[in-house]
Homo-oligomer: A and B are copies of this chain.
Amino acid sequence: MHTPISSIVSDSAPRTVTFSGFVDVIRDHKKHLFFVIRDRTDMVQVFADKALFPDTHITTESFVRISGHIESRPEVRLHGFEIVATQIEILSVPEEDLPISWKSEWYPSLSERLDHRHLSLREPRILLAFEMMSYFDLVVREFCYEQGCIEIHTPKIIPAASEGGAELFRLDYFGRDAYLAQSPQLYKQMAIASGFGKVLEIAPAFRADPSFTSRHVTEITMLDIEISPIESPEDVISFAEHMLQTAFSKIHTRFASKVAELYDREITIPSLPFPRTTFTQAREILEKEFGIAIAEDEDMSAEWERRLSEWVYAQYGHDFLFVTGYPSSVRAFYTMNEASTPTISKGFDLLYRGLEVSSGAQREHRYDQLVSQIRAGGMDPAEFEHYLACFRHGMPPHGGFGFGIARLFKQLLWFETVKEVILAPRDPKRLAP
């Protein structure tokens, strides 16, 4: 009954159609009215003879339903046709001037746009980003299911500060303390111990991180994957790059022309395999190419990540770079280390145009080794009782990665901050809307 505008645009043969949307712009002539209707899929011009609608008062951003017939008008810049209205139904009228508009001379600030999120999300360019992320979720899931993954739902309320303790939100849980999960890591591993084989989750994760940067928020949507059995972290890296290549290729097919139109940008499909470098090699590159010296056991900084991406783009024309073999000292206790060189871990990061978008590893699946790594990290194995139990009754060798979807899309669409691609972003000061 309600036709999406895109399907009127893709087939504009003369016929009667009914559709609905927001009034985008209005041109009021003496005897007739031109206005553009916008839905999520496209925009279309409507022509209304005022004599037919004497009592109809149309304002921008009203939500209306239109019936009319399609008439070819080569002179109409928007698609070369218009709808001659036979029925106009105004379903909802803005009751006041809009507090912000992306069409105004002064494009509203990020803060204004987040304050009036329901309006800033109407901007076609922004709405497109959310449609793309939704599609990314779907194609990633389809890829993972084809690889044999089960999607799981891990608990977000957890009993203890299991991954170190910092940056956890504390909760009043029927009179005792509980916490919000920073990642589904321990529960992904429980599923592996349970014989789920390969698992996937796209779900919120919570970080009580007080920093204000373009890449941090306190609530993120994480894509998490864990697979078993594996032989090495390369199995995980290979899964990740194939997943991304498939997703980018499908996103390109579906959205490349819209992205060109609304962002004036190209979507590049990354070629396989993605470049890889070890942490040791990365250190050499940073020193040789950029004069940056990194101390032993120092973790990668945001600036170094940008430099490495510059280098990999100059060298290979590639947007992605896997950095492998991080020092054990900068990775979580559950990461497996190289047998020959225990100071080097089997953990990796994935950089995309200068930003870390994913972190992964082969995990330590041997109970005794895991206990000694917990102790080496200055923690008490007794606090990991339920977690450690998973390793005591047969545990497949496994590994996986976590993936920040907003970071990926910030980079893909060249936004300045992840907040642009989060429905209602949260930072230490922002809790609304």
Q: When each residue 95-115 of chain A gets 1 if its CB lies under 8 Å from chain B and 0 otherwise, what string results?
A: 110100000000000000000
| Contact partners of A392 in chain B: CB under 8 A | 94-96
* A270 interfacial contact with B, CB 8 Å: no
Instruction: Give the complex CA separation of A426 and B422 in angstroms.
Output: 28
Instruction: Give the complex CA separation of A171 and B148 in angstroms.
Output: 37
Is the beta-carbon distance between B426 and A155 smaller than 8 angstroms?
Answer: yes
Cross-interface CB contact of A397 among B92, B173, B197, B433, cutoff 8 Å: B92
Instruction: Give the complex CA separation of A152 and B130 in angstroms.
Output: 8
Instruction: Give the complex CA separation of A138 and B170 in angstroms.
Output: 33
Q: How many residues of A contact B (CB 8 A)?
A: 96
* A396 in contact with B63 given A195-B40, A219-B157 (CB within 8 Å): yes
Q: When each residue 209-238 of chain A gets 1 if its CB lies under 8 Å from chain B and 0 otherwise, what string results?
A: 010000000110100000001000000000
Cross-interface CB contact of A431 among B92, B158, B424, B431, cutoff 8 Å: B158
* A92 in contact with B396 given A122-B195, A150-B134, A424-B190 (CB within 8 Å): yes
Q: How far is the CB of A310 from chain B (nearest CB, A)?
A: 31
Instruction: Give the complex CA separation of A387 and B422 in angstroms.
Output: 17
Q: How far is the CB of A139 from chain B (nearest CB, A)?
A: 10
Q: How far is the CB of A147 from chain B (nearest CB, A)?
A: 11
Is the beta-carbon distance between B91 and A195 smaller than 8 angstroms?
Answer: no
Instruction: Give the complex CA separation of A425 and B153 in angstroms.
Output: 10
Q: How far is the CB of A105 from chain B (nearest CB, A)?
A: 19
Query: Which residue of chain B has the shortest Cβ distance to A422 in the bound complex?
Result: B153
| Contact partners of A142 in chain B: CB under 8 A | 138
* A308 interfacial contact with B, CB 8 Å: no
Q: How far is the CB of A119 from chain B (nearest CB, A)?
A: 6
Is the beta-carbon distance between A153 and B432 smaller than 8 angstroms?
Answer: no
* A61 interfacial contact with B, CB 8 Å: yes
Instruction: Give the complex CA separation of A180 and B4 in angstroms.
Output: 35
Is the beta-carbon distance between B218 and A157 smaller than 8 angstroms?
Answer: yes
Is the beta-carbon distance between A433 and B121 smaller than 8 angstroms?
Answer: no
| Contact partners of A208 in chain B: CB under 8 A | 174
Is the beta-carbon distance between A426 and B151 smaller than 8 angstroms?
Answer: no
| Residue among A169, A219, A365, A424 facing the most chain B CB atoms (10 A cut-off) | A424
* A386 in contact with B94 given A22-B195, A155-B219, A194-B122 (CB within 8 Å): no
Is the beta-carbon distance between A92 and B169 smaller than 8 angstroms?
Answer: no
Cross-interface CB contact of A170 among B151, B172, B218, cutoff 8 Å: B172
Q: How far is the CB of A389 from chain B (nearest CB, A)?
A: 7
Cross-interface CB contact of A130 among B130, B150, B156, B210, cutoff 8 Å: B150
Chain A residues 52 to 104 lying within 8 A of chain B, measured CB to CB, are: 61-63, 65, 91-96, 98
Interface CB pairs A-B, < 8 A, 18: A20-B396, A39-B195, A94-B394, A95-B392, A95-B393, A118-B190, A118-B393, A119-B393, A121-B194, A138-B145, A155-B219, A156-B204, A169-B171, A169-B172, A171-B180, A174-B210, A174-B428, A203-B203
Residues of A within 8 A of B (CB): 2, 4, 20-23, 38-40, 61-63, 65, 91-96, 98, 116-119, 121-122, 127, 130-131, 134, 137-138, 141-142, 145, 148-159, 169-174, 176, 178, 180, 187, 190-191, 193-197, 203-204, 206, 208, 210, 218-219, 221, 229, 365-367, 386-387, 389-390, 392-397, 422-426, 428-429, 431-433
